[in-house]
Amino acid sequence: MRLITAIVNWVTDRCDPGPRATLPTPPKRLRELRSVSHTILEDVRGNIARVLTERIDAANNASDFWHMRPRLFDAVSTEFGEVVAGRRLLQLDIMLQVNHDRRSQFARASAAPLAPGGQERRRGRPLAAPAPVVKRRGASNESPFRTTTQSTI
């Protein structure tokens, strides 16, 4: 048992990369992130707003703001709704370079910009042609098959 414990400890000591270095965020960008975050919370009341304001002031890099983002969203959405929270966090998303699209696949497809040749493009690449439309039989209460109860025997 001691041998196994010693081996496990040795392996974990070897595999532990230690503390990870984070790139320092420039002071100007930090001030901008703080300003945007304070603007998001400017009319939110309650204890959560006070706690988040303290966390905003204590944040040292952009990663701190990224991890704080869900709590900002929750605080605003509780008071004003998810639509308002999404709009308010849009500027923070842009500053943190969030490149995800929250719309459904159908909304994204209908809003795709057309290239000069009339072909849809995404990030500079032409999109594949859409799949052919499958015609489906209309629904009805009548069965297409005859059963023995319907036949005239």
At 119 the pLDDT is 47
| Contact of 102 with 82, CB cutoff 8 Å | no
At 7 the pLDDT is 77
Q: Looking at the DSSP assignment, which residues form a beta bridge with residue 114?
A: 120
SS3 annotation, 102-122: CCCHHHHHHCCCECCCCCEEE
At 114 the pLDDT is 47
Residue 71: closest CA among 87, 91, 56, 90:
56
- Predicted TM-score (pTM) of this structure: 0.50
At 115 the pLDDT is 47
Alpha carbon of residue 118 to chain centroid: 30
Domain ranges of the chain: 28-102
At 120 the pLDDT is 46
Dihedral angle over CA of 117, 119, 120, 124, nearest 10: -60
In order along its 153 residues, the chain shows pLDDT tens digits of 677 777 767 666 666 555 555 556 678 888 999 999 999 999 999 999 999 999 999 998 888 998 999 999 999 999 999 999 999 999 898 888 764 455 555 555 555 454 455 444 455 566 566 566 666 666 666 766 666 665 555
Residue 43: closest CA among 69, 68, 80:
80
| Contact of 75 with 48, CB cutoff 8 Å | yes
At 87 the pLDDT is 92
